[in-house]
Copies of this chain bind each other. A is one copy, B any other.
Amino acid sequence: MTESKIYEMLGSYKIATPKFASFRIDETISVDFFPAVIKIESEKVVHKSDFGAVKLNISSNEELNAAKEEIISNIAAKGVKLDETDSFIVVEMLSGQELYVGLVDDEIFGKTIVFGKGGVFLEMYKDVCYIDIYADDEEIKRAIKLTKISRIFDGFRGFDFDIEMAVKFIKSVQNFAKANPDIVELDFNPVLLTKDGLKTVDARIKRGEARPEKLGTLRKNRPNFFQNERVAIIGASSDPTKVGYAIAKNSLTYKGDMFFVNAKGGELFGKELYTSVSKIEGDIDTAVITIPSKFVVETTKELIKKNIKNLIIISAGFKEVGDYDSERIIAELAKEHNFNVIGPNCLGYLNGQKELNLTFGIGGLRSGELALLSQSGAVLSALMDKAYDASVGFSHLISCGNMVDLDFAEMIDMLNTEDSCKYISVYAEGIQNGKEFLRAIRESKKKVYIFKTGKSAESKKAAFSHTGNLSGNYEMFKGLIESVGAKIEDNIEALLFNPLNEVNNILIVTNAGGPATILTDYIIDHGRKLYQLSKEEISALDAVLPSNWSKNNPVDIIGDAMADRYEATLDIVTKFENVDLIYLLVTPQYMTDELNIAKLCEREWGKKIYPILLGGHEMEEAKNYLRAKQKLFFKTLQSATSFL
């Protein structure tokens, strides 16, 4: 496509370009925009500059016509004869900050706009953001603000450009992309930021076969997964080495109707073991399957006769070992009979509010406000274990497994209808429907926290062999997710702690200055603040502390502090109204009575207190004490702050 054709096409979508005009080769040139550039547009002249066929910085029509003649003779000198299929284009020469706007057709997220610093610095600084073609104004602005170049919209060094100009340009590109699905790649570099708005002065467009649009392709009118009334465990077993035993045991807290099924029959935990699903009277809305994979399709069909609504397939041995067929059949049955499937190859499901634990994790169960979705059973298991130790409770737990049916977007949609769920944490390895994922987070009334693996090429490979899912470009993932309003975590445990830890003012009580300094760095790195002590608060501490205490936060109560001094300090600082979190830092000094300091943490202080016990074996007694009491504590400064 010639430059003038591209400009015309872009213009019809209100994508601003410089002023330009085309002229036949025998036509007298006359324009009203200067300075200008004149170039030949001819298929016979590929490298215009080599042919002397571009003239820059021209300031009158007279000079333009002279330049035109010069170009004609330059081309003739190269032995090329121009004819009536050729023409000249005269383009307004603009200047301004060089920006970049691009469009990619990502395998996960489909059509996505890339915006940032342009020119040669695009590659050097990679200062770009990612914008969904369905993003609204606010989302576009949120994305733009993730770049450093966005400071030019912010009064930086006297720049006074309005961000709305960028938004307007990007919206035009969104419309262009939606109207031309066959455009699979687009590079505007540079787009110049002028006082009249953004104008693209160089455009490269690639057409091709578009990936199918994924927005709106989810199943409609699904039953809500979380309405679990009559539940069956298929494969409940009296053999304690079997998963079916563990699940049956964990399920005993449930107060609703629960049925155990095992072909061998008999009894388990005082309940009948039905020899088949068909033997159960009435419908089953929720079932867990733990039997060998080869029996799963058949059992699913039996459950369909029981009007199954929600199916959790724990059994492994599907896609992950190359059996795609059974997964396909189950997915088709689910569609045809309108039921939901979680798994296969998963750890199970837990509904905290209903005290329904259909997982085989050993970790205990606490009800709470956090819904946790995990694409790795092992990660989920470790998190459940950690949550138990740290008294974090769940509204829902879903071990996603191979995700043959329900996807993240649908789970997030459904969780939004559950009052018991206040926050949603997602451990994701691969996303299948990126557009719906973004849509669901965009619409979610509950804040979403996401940890995503697959940053490096190597781990992408590992994730693929692991779940068979794709795990795209991490930078794009992070950019899109942040624009859409979720929080990206760089630490797995943050999925447990962050939703429950919206702390601002942190206070440190310590018996050593050095580690407190490092802890301070970590806290500030995570964007949190140290609480500022008032004069009165300092005086209050003066009364109980040695004269050489730090008189500041970190409250350094000096290396010879014993438990009584820690206690006197806590007595005072736990009453500081605006302190959200207290780190109790204990380092092994010769006389430190770690155990008694640890015991202080048992008390109800009315503030969140996180003890950090630094040092190895000599802290063991104190650590074991806190472990036995199921009190959360940390062993390194990094772990104590990693979830902030």
Contact = CB atoms under 8 A, between A and B. Distances in A.
B559 A377 contact: yes
A91 to B, nearest CB: 21
A466 B556 contact: yes
A382 B492 contact: no
A240 B467 CA distance: 59
A247 to B, nearest CB: 9
Interface in A145-170: 148-149, 151, 156-157, 159
A513 B463 contact: yes
Interface in A477-530: 491-493, 511-518, 520-521, 523-525, 530
B120 A157 contact: yes
A208 interface: no
Given A385-B617, A521-B459, A524-B459, A514 B376 contact: yes
Contact of A466 (B455, B466, B513): B513
A462 B151 contact: no
A382 B615 contact: yes
Contact of A521 (B386, B456, B551, B618): B456
Given A124-B148, A148-B124, A520-B462, A627 B617 contact: yes
A41 to B, nearest CB: 25
A27 interface: no
B462 A618 contact: no
A525 B125 contact: no
Contacts of A590: 243, 246, 360, 362
Interface string A523-564: 111000010000000000000000110111010100100000
Given A124-B148, A588-B382, A638-B639, A453 B514 contact: yes
Contacts of A525: 455-456
A539 B255 CA distance: 51
A467 B491 CA distance: 32
A175 interface: no
A220 to B, nearest CB: 31
Contacts of A547: 321
B550 A462 contact: yes
Contacts of A429: 514, 517
A267 interface: no
A17 interface: no
A190 to B, nearest CB: 13
Interface of A: 120-121, 123-125, 127, 148-149, 151, 156-157, 159, 241, 243, 246, 316-317, 320-322, 360-363, 374-379, 381-382, 385-386, 388-389, 427, 429, 453-459, 461-463, 465-467, 491-493, 511-518, 520-521, 523-525, 530, 547-548, 550-552, 554, 556, 559, 587-591, 614-620, 627, 635-639, 642
Given A374-B514, A455-B524, 9 more contacts: A120-B157, A124-B151, A316-B559, A379-B518, A379-B587, A453-B514, A456-B524, A456-B525, A638-B638
7 contacts: A120-B157, A362-B618, A377-B559, A378-B559, A379-B515, A381-B587, A463-B513
